[in-house]
Amino acid sequence: MSQSAKIVVMEKPFEVRPYNKKEMYKQMNVSKYIFTKWVKALEPTLGRVLGGVYNVRQVTLIIETYGVPFQIVNQAA
Q: Give pLDDT, residue 59.
A: 95
Domain that includes residue 26, residue range: 3-76
pTM, to two decimals? 0.73
Q: Give pLDDT, residue 71.
A: 52
Where is average pLDDT lowest: 8-17, 20-29, 30-39, 54-63?
8-17
By CB atoms closer than 10 A (0-12, 13-18, 19+), residue 62 is: buried
The answer on pLDDT for 2 being more than 90 is: no
Closest to 36 in 3D by CA, of 19, 47, 22, 50: 22
By CB atoms closer than 10 A (0-12, 13-18, 19+), residue 42 is: middle
Report residue 34's pLDDT band, with 50, 70 and 90 as the boundaries: very high
Please give the DSSP secondary-structure letter assigned to residue 17.
S
3-state secondary structure of 8: coil
